[in-house]
Structure 1
Amino acid sequence: MNKESKIYVAGHRGMVGSAIYRKLQKDGYTNLVVATSAELDLRNTTAVDEFFRENQPEYVFLAAAKVGGILANNNYPADFLYDNLMIQNNVIEASFRYNVEKLLFLGSSCIYPKFAPQPIKEESLLSGYLEPTNEAYAIAKIAGIKLCQAYHKQHGKRFISAMPTNLYGFGDNYHPENSHVLPALLRRFHEAKENNLEEVIIWGTGTPLREFMFADDLGAACLFLMQRYEKPEIINVGTGEETSILELAHVIAEAVGFKGHIGFDKSKPDGTPRKLMDSSRLHSLGFHHQTSLKEGISVTYQDFLSKIAVYAK
């Protein structure tokens, strides 16, 4: 892939897609193709086919997806399964039909079994039961992985799949019910500070262990993999570092400037008790993340503050 290659970033307005797009721009790639969801509904097979026929991209980063937190995944399983299957099926098939040189499909750490051995190796895929609360999303992503591998096996296509850990960063979703844990806590601590509250309540027990990666580090990893990884086997993208939800809450409280108490609502779900990715395969290729959790949360909070009128809705 050279600087003039025609590159399509699907989902360029999302947190992951925008991080990939920023990285490509920063590194001097000049022939980038994008379309908003209003301009191109990726669930529409005919529309996607027409887009690929007109634009003829050489490389595709498939970062478009319907995403949400535990509550959203649990409440809208049909939407998460159908929409994501349609998005990825249409883009991957069109990439095959229009002779895309290489495609990178973005999966998720939720593809792995709920009680997969820790840290989670790529070989754990399909070795046990999924976490029930996000099963629909996970099944869609697993189907995307298998579709990429099938095109590789049957047609020799260079379609690869990367599995990111939990992400946060610019353009995250701060909806009070449908967001992931880090942005949800960031908003909650901010509002508590603004309203002079004495306590912030965290869902669950605070004990689950999670790994968090700044989205711009993932963007850099995606470009790295597009340039240097060719195997059909999935590859994990993470930091190799983990923190408890309670520890995360303290880092966020410090970034926000909240001085009150942290409590727990144990009636709410914890989700998977521990989820750390084994990213040794990626690290052995020479890629490592650059942003610490404390630094990343500080930068993300400033982004939140700059767009607070939008997030307050």
Structure 2
Amino acid sequence: MNKSKKIYIAGHTGMAGSAIWRHLEKAGYTNLIGRTSAALDLENQKTVAQFFNIEKPEVLIIAAAKVGGILANIEQPYDFLMKNLLIQNNLIENAHRFGVQKLIFLGSSCIYPKFCAQPIKEDYLLTGTLEPTNESYAIAKIAGLKACEALRNQFDKDFVSLMPTNLYGEWDNFDLNSSHVIPAMIKKFHEAKLNDQASVTLWGTGTPMREFMYVKDLASAVCFALENNLEEPVYNVGVGEDLSIKDLALLIQKVTGHKGEIVWDVSKPDGTPRKILDIQKLNALGWSAQTQLEEGLKMTYKWFLKRYDKL
């Protein structure tokens, strides 16, 4: 990959997009472009087409999406479906129309069936029903993956989809109404510690098993995909290890220094019982995650503390 190629990172201010930007900049890429949502409405077909016509990016990385945790997905299913469809359809179609040479589409491990075999292989897509609490988001991401795969098959495009496991890290969303599990726990434990070690109430039973990847490892996977010709249309990206939500809570409690009680609200949903990705395909090509969970959590909490008053 020529490091002077014009690379448009859609969603460059979000957790994943900003990590990708920093990684590519550090790797010597000199022609990165991005637009904030205020400057470019990715849901508007006309303005996205105008942007591609003027800027003519040679590479597109799609890290833009409407994302959120279980509560946000339950309360806003239409938004999660339609906004993500609009964003990715506009980007993928204009990448095709304006001759983008390489496209990397970021999906999510929630695209896979709720009860499929573990670890989850890429081949398990569309072999069963989805987890109801994030079905709308998953359907949108499946549509984006299939659009890239169709363009690859019909027009011989170098378009590839990466399906990362659950991400966490710097610039995550710490709003308790819309955040994912790790940032929500970090904020809850931190605020309980400040409140005389108050108890912390968490959703569900704590028994589901989950895999978590530090966002800087995703950025390195995107760079790997950028610099190599990947022969398959879809690759899982993960760490190959999981733990229970209860063990995750204990680890975050340790990292934050909270000493109070943890209360589990079993009236709230658990979600999928277990979700760990089979990452053999990408590992076999030479990429692997490098960050241990506790190390990544410590770096994330350190970042959180510096910005707590602004989050």
**Residue 59, structure 1, aligned to residue 59, structure 2:** yes
Find the residue that maps to 1:192 and give its secondary structure.
helix
CA contact (8 A) 1:148 1:232 kept: no
Instruction: Name the counterpart of 2:225.
Output: 225
| Map 1:177-196 → 2, pairs under 5 A | 177-196=177-196
* C-alpha deviation, 1:250, in angstroms: 1.1
* CA RMSD of superposed structures (Å): 0.9
Distance 2:232 2:239 in 1: 22
Aligned residues: 311
Q: Does 1:116 align with 2:108?
A: no
Cα deviation, 1:111-167, whole Å, max 9, x if unaligned, reads: 000001000000000000000010000000000011001111111111110000000
- After TM superposition, the score normalised by the length of structure 2 is 0.98
Where does 1:35-50 land on structure 2 (aligned, <5 Å)?
35-50=35-50
Unpaired runs of 5+ residues, structure 2, are none
SS of the residue corresponding to residue 264 of structure 2 reads strand
Counterpart secondary structure, 2:263: strand
* Distance in 2 separating the partners of 1:232 and 1:283: 13
Aligned to 2:302: 302
Q: Name the structure 2 match of 1:88.
A: 88
Structure 1 outlier segments of 4+, above 3 Å: none
State TM-score, norm by structure 1.
Answer: 0.98
8 Å Cα contact 2:159-2:233 kept in structure 1? no
Query: 1:232 Cα shift?
Result: 4.5
How many angstroms apart in 1 are the aligned matches of 2:225 and 2:290?
16
Identity between Structure 1 and Structure 2 (%): 56
Provide the secondary structure at the position in 2 that maps to 1:159. strand
Contact kept? 2:71, 2:178, Cα under 8 Å? yes
* Counterpart position of 2:69: 69
Summarize deviations over 1:97-120 as a string: whole Å, max 9, x none.
110110000000000000010000
Show CA shifts across 1:202-229 (max 9, x none). 2101111000000011000011012114
> Which residue of the partner structure matches residue 79 of structure 2?
79
Q: Who is 2:142 aligned against?
A: 142
Aligned partners of 1:64, 1:288: CA distance in 2, in Å?
24
By how many angstroms is 1:86 displaced? 0.5
**1:164–1:218 contact (8 Å) kept in structure 2:** yes
1:262 matched residue in structure 2? 262
Q: Counterpart of 2:262 in 1: which secondary structure?
A: strand
| Matched residue, 1:206 | 206
Counterparts of 1:229 and 1:219, CA distance in 2: 17
Q: CA deviation at 1:263?
A: 1.8
Question: Any conservation in 2 of the 1:152–1:232 contact (CA below 8 Å)?
Answer: no
Displacement of 1:198 after TM fit? 3.6
